[in-house]
Amino acid sequence: STAQSHQQHQRVGVAQICDTSAKSAVSLRSGISTRTNEAGGQQPASAADDIEAEAKNEVSLQSAVLIQKWYRRYKARLEARRQTSWMIYQSIEYSSESSQLHLYNFFNDMLRLGGGGVGGASANAGFAERLRQKSIEEEDEELLEHTGYSEMTVERNYKGPKLSFPLSATHVQLMIDSFRQGGLLHARYLLQLLHETRSVLKTRQNIQLVSSSISKQLDLVIKMLSLNANFHAPILKVTVVGDLHGKLEDLLIVLYKNGLPDVTNPYIFNGDFVDRGPNSVEILAILFACQLVWPSAVFLNRGNHEDQVMNLRYGFIKEVQYKYRQTANKLLNMFSEVFAWMPLATVIDDRVFVTHGGISDKVDLDRVRRLDRHRYVSVLRPPVAKSSDEKVDYMEWRQVLDLLWSDPKAQQGCKPNTFRGGGCYFGPNVTRAFLDKYGYKLLVRSHECKQDGWEFCHEDTVLTVFSASNYYEEGSNKGAYVKFDSECRPRLVQFVASRRDKLPKGQRLSSVEESALRDLRGKILASKSELIDAFLRLDPEKTGAIRVSQWCSTMEEKLRLELPWRTLRPHLAQLNKDGRLLYMSTFQRAAIQHRLSGGKEMANSVTETVYKNREELETIFRIMDKDNSGQISLEEFKESCRILCQATQRQMTEDEVADMAKSLDLNSDGYIDFNEFLEAFRIVDYQRQESQKRLLGDSVQSSVSE
């Protein structure tokens, strides 16, 4: 890549300087001391010349050593900054997932208690009913009734790709070309595509099988053609693609570099196609179309984000509502249905096991093969007994949860994944036992963003592949995919979908670092009241200063983020002349703002509470929004706030909730557009604003002078 090339040139340049300095020094030291006379001949040098040459030797050697030291320190500082930024991004991401699981544990408690709690059973009964998972018969009946496409018409002015079924490779290429230009597939075609995909996925096993050699049905043809001296049998390589997360550019790069799927170029797409990025719909449309055109060459594994509950929070539902306003409800029902039918794992040549998350010491593949995967529309919703006599098989649900949510760790054993809040951490001994039991050589998984796009662990028996480059911020990470040959040897391919490749590494890193710090400041401001209370308890004399160690421990305890707080301190808080930390400076650089209708400012206490729990509130809102219109009534908004207070054990008064609801009803029609409400929150960076003002002032002053 361009970035790698730039880095290599930089490294070579420094190496050449060091090499030149060292060579000149060695040549001066090892050569015979001579000097040139006026006639051009050489004669022995004097003692003074020898001393001068020796001094030059020392200067050259010292220069080389200094340059090497400087470069190593420069590289070490860049790596330390990169690692710190990475830790911030990952800690905030996993903290968000953990809070999502905590919220759904609360919802599951509501279901078991029949909707009781704060406000009484009747207050939450309607909400609990919306959480209830319907039976398969109920879902099939509703699906056919509410997701039909035969009566939908395609407008004459529609300029996107036009599909006719059965699909062909031409249709796939038309979709790719259209999506690359920002086109949108018509809802009628998308619904039919989803129905066709559902029919194919229903025929797939929970654990799919794929071969890295040519399809068996073509073996005879290959042997016959091999008699022709000019024929060379194709060398098949199975390609595994990791998380894409709505980043269409990454998928297009993979297909461009590696080619479209066909019987000689099979693909396994290992889940997490949606959420976070802006083009989840387009990615799914391309992958589903490829599976219909090349059913024996495209294998889709379910990821933890192919889940109705995760989609409530991380952007996919919002994307569908924005792109397909009138048909969003139909499409979302069908997407959830298709996600539930996606297989859970794929095996390559009985040697490589590919699943999205990982394994645990409880995973039993015989049991996985037998379970009904479709009943888990959301893996975050454990099965609930419909009567006191019914027994719930939690171990079956656990199989699915562990396959989609688990992460490998260096420590031995298996324990709950407290960082994410779901699945487990599995150690090298768990991996070895699993591989030995089923005769596999390698476990391939995705689920975790890696800086290089891939990572081996557990003595090279676990490979993580992540294909969404620039996942946290442009320049934050590379994407990768892996190709397996007939011997199941992996070959990794890296790529970056970025327009900043030509920027120096330090400049790209500064952008990533600032973005990470901005996200961290948002987390700090969301817990401002709790942090101030804790700081005041450590400062009984109200001096405004505490020890740095006290500040670090408080930040870790209240934010629940395991970060190098001492390293981050210069970016977040100031010291006084005695070296003690001025704790209120932690909040001076930025503030949370939310503008209500008419420019009215929301009360600080309410702003902080709502901002801190905005993701949980959005999840509740979207559950309330039964028709996926993006709007809820004032009463539904009030009920959402009550449920939020109950789930988070924080309080907002009825008056505060009522005032907020009235202010958000911009049209006075009794409904709230909660997308607009949530997007109105922003972090105001005062230091950045001042810097921009100074730059603007300097620019204006320069223009006036000219």
Query: Annotated active-site positions, please?
Result: 305
Backbone angles phi and psi of 375, in degrees to 5: -70, -15
What is the Cα–Cα distance from 3 to 10, expressed in whole angstroms? Answer: 11
Tokens 């950045």 found at: 688
Number of C-beta neighbours around residue 254 at 10 A: 23
Q: Which amino acid is located at 143 in the chain?
A: L
Integer Cα distance of 462 and 358 in angstroms:
9
- Reference 439, options 362, 350, 354; nearest CA is 350
Nearest to 627 by CA among 329, 330, 336: 329
Residue 80 CA to residue 92 CA, distance in Å, equals 19
Q: Write out the E strands in 65-184.
A: none
Residue 71 to residue 691: CA distance in whole angstroms: 30
Gap between the Cα atoms of 190 and 658, Å rounded: 40
Yes or no: say if 243 and 152 are a contact pair by the CB < 8 Å rule. no
Q: Return d(Cα 422, Cα 433) in angstroms, integer.
A: 22
Distance of CA 103 to the CA centre of its chain: 20
Contact status, residue 593 vs residue 527, Cβ threshold 8 Å: no
**What CA–CA distance (Å, rounded) separates 53 from 412?**
61
Token pair in block for residue 670: 């009794």
CB 626 within 8 A of CB 615: no
Residues 82 and 78: their CA atoms lie apart, in Å, by 6
Kindly provide the b/e burial profile for residues 112-125, where b requires at least 16 CB atoms within 10 angstroms of the residue's own CB. eeebbbebeeebbe
409 φ/ψ angles, rounded to the nearest 5 degrees: -135, 160
Q: Which contacts qualify for 319-327: CB closer than 8 Å, 24 or more apart?
A: 319/246, 319/278, 319/280, 319/281, 320/281, 320/628, 321/628, 321/629, 321/630, 321/675, 323/184, 323/281, 324/187, 324/190, 326/187, 327/152, 327/187, 327/191
Cα(379)–Cα(402) distance, rounded to whole angstroms?
A: 10
- Give every CB contact of residue 403 below 8 A, 6+ residues apart in sequence: 344, 345, 355, 356, 357, 358, 359, 363, 368
> 451, 480, 483, 482: which is closest to 466 by C-alpha?
480
With beta carbons less than 8 A apart as the criterion, state whether 123 and 642 touch.
Answer: yes
Query: In the structure encoding, which two tokens stand for residue 687, read together?
Result: 């230091």
Secondary structure E strands in 154-250: 207-210, 238-241
369 contacts 353 by C-beta, under 8 angstroms:
no
Compute the distance between CA of residue 617 and CA of residue 610 in angstroms, rounded to an integer.
8
- Contact between residue 430 and residue 360 where contact means Cβ atoms under 8 Å apart: yes
Q: Which DSSP state fits 469?
A: T
Distance of alpha carbon 562 from its chain centroid, rounded?
19
Query: Which single residue is written with the structure tokens 């557990």?
Result: 458
CB 348 within 8 A of CB 238: yes
Pairwise CA distance, residues 314 & 274, whole Å? 9
Q: Which of 587, 583, 588 is nearest to 538 (CA)?
A: 583
Instruction: Check the CA dihedral 418-423-424-427 and report its sign.
Output: negative
